[in-house]
């Protein structure tokens, strides 16, 4: 699990007048709205006696109150009032918890999980179709996987598996006809252009079968973004029908992933067709989950020494390369180191205030991190004549 990235914590409409618990990166957080409607995110632990703030309430001070002793925490994580001491009493310097930047986009609450200054943060991925209601009709769904987020993202950008996992998207006998046309990648994103030969369309009361023939060449563009661990899948159904599936994949913990998914379409935009769109998209997620949740090992391998890749895997190689680069930058949480303290100690994700104010005193320790290249499994040659596994990951 990586820090210093934006992640989706919850749907916007789930946070109203009461605090809400959210779990990201294995840690608990509280989301609450102030009087102006702005959402705030804090660590979900009172540093007095460990109360869960998400079980508390919001106050006239625009704070969230602990249900145990009523301590009130403001949007910056500072305690503003201790009831047992009375109004105007001094507040201990260490009476603070971490607070995290938030933004609301696409009906989702995004939280920056890290301490980077704003100027150094990767942006939230663009999804322009969501706000263009004149041309696109959105539907949303929530899906939880019993699998690691890295495996979920890799599955989402893997076109080769569609011939075998998704009957509505491919035929096994057409697997060698599906082609990667092009691969692009940047510092934190990647995009692949592909042509597939799927079955005749189904759904929407039988109308879809008239809009694409069996095995008709269909252009599909999957993209991935490190912020939000987002996958964007653009499907050109035919010359005038387009569909985009955008999902932000949040690591709840190291073995659980929650997908916040939105599908938009520029055809059949009446509400009567929404139910079918949601059902088909959920079926696709479930078909993927049946495979991903049974993968061995559970985690995405750090090298290719125990795997064999071919040229059709080069886009997944781009995902692995970008992910690994940021692990080497020290962004990966050391979950193994934390297990020794399970149930005995509360950790927190480092927030921007810790970096901008290094002299502040804190009651909670931050999560331990993997240090960089020296902590990673060394690369080794693999079958196929490529001696450097990272080179193979990039070019396979």
pLDDT > 50? residue 295: yes
Please tell me the predicted confidence (pLDDT) of residue 109.
98
Question: In which band, very low, low, confident or very high, does the pLDDT at 199 lie, cut at 50, 70 and 90?
Answer: confident
* Greater pLDDT, 7 or 387: 7
Report the pLDDT averaged over residues 70-78: 98
What pLDDT does 387 receive?
30
Has residue 122 got a pLDDT over 50?
A: yes
Question: What is the spatial distance between Cα 265 and Cα 136, in angstroms, rounded to a whole number?
Answer: 5
What mean pLDDT comes out for the span 237-244? 89
The structure tokens listed for 143 are 């899906």
Which domains are delineated in the chain? 5-120 (2.102.10.10), 128-300 (3.90.380.10)
Q: Is the pLDDT of residue 131 over 60?
A: yes
The residue with greater pLDDT, 320 or 163, is 320
Measured distance CA(392)–CA(385) in Å, rounded: 9
Looking at residue 215, what is its pLDDT? 76
Give φ, ψ of 112 to 5 degrees. Answer: -85, 115
pLDDT digits (tens, 9 = 90+) for 285-294: 999 999 999 9
CA distance linking residue 78 with residue 168, whole number of Å = 53
Helix (H), strand (E), coil (C) string for 173-192: HHCCCCEEEEEEECCCEEEE
pLDDT at 373 over 60: no
For residue 386, pLDDT over 60 is answered with no
| pLDDT, averaged across the chain | 90
In percent, the amount of the chain with pLDDT more than 90 equals 77
Of 288, 236, 272, 274, the C-alpha closest to 140 is: 274
Q: How far is Cα of residue 126 from the mean position of the Cα atoms in its chain?
A: 14
Nearest partner of 167 among 204, 202, 121, 125, judged by Cα = 202
33-47, 124-138, 324-338, 362-376: lowest mean pLDDT where?
362-376
pLDDT mean over 214-226: 90
β-strand partners of 369: 333
pLDDT in tens, 81-94: 999 999 999 999 99
């Amino acid at each position: 699990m990586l820090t210093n990235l934006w992640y989706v914590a919850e749907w916007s409409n789930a946070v109203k007048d009461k605090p809400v618990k959210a779990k990201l990166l294995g840690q608990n957080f509280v989301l609450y709205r102030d009087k102006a409607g702005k959402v705030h995110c804090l660590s979900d632990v009172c540093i007095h006696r460990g109360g869960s703030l998400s079980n508390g309430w919001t106050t006239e001070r625009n704070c969230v109150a602990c249900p145990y002793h009523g301590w009130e925490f403001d949007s910056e994580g500072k305690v503003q009032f201790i009831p047992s001491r009375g109004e105007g009493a001094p507040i201990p310097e260490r009476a603070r918890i971490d607070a995290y930047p938030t933004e609301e986009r696409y009906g989702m609450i995004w939280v920056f999980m890290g301490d980077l200054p704003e100027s150094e943060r990767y942006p939230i991925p663009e999804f322009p179709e969501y706000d263009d209601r004149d041309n696109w009709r959105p539907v949303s769904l929530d899906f939880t996987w019993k699998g690691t987020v890295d495996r979920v993202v890799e599955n989402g950008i893997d076109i080769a598996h569609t011939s075998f996992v998704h009957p509505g998207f491919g035929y096994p006998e057409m697997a060698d006809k599906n082609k990667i046309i092009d691969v692009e990648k940047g510092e934190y994103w990647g995009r692949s252009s592909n042509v597939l030969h799927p079955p005749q369309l189904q759904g929407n009361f039988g109308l879809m079968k008239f809009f694409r023939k069996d095995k008709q060449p269909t252009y599909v563009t999957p993209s991935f973004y490190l912020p939000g661990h987002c996958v964007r899948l653009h499907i050109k159904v035919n010359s005038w029908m387009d569909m985009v599936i955008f999902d932000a994949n949040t690591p709840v913990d190291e073995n659980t992933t929650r997908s916040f998914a939105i599908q938009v379409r520029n055809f059949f935009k009446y509400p009567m067709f929404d139910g079918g769109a949601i059902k088909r998209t959920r079926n696709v997620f479930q078909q993927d989950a049946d495979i991903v949740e049974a993968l061995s090992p559970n985690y995405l391998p750090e090298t290719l020494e125990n795997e064999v890749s071919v040229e059709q895997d080069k886009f997944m190689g781009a995902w692995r390369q970008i992910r690994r680069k940021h692990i080497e930058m020290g962004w990966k949480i050391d979950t193994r180191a934390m297990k020794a303290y399970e149930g005995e100690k509360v950790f927190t994700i480092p927030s921007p205030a810790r970096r901008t104010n290094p002299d502040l005193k804190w009651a909670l320790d931050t999560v331990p991190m993997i240090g960089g290249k020296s902590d990673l499994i060394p690369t080794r040659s693999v079958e196929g004549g490529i001696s450097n596994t990272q080179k193979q990951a990039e070019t396979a």
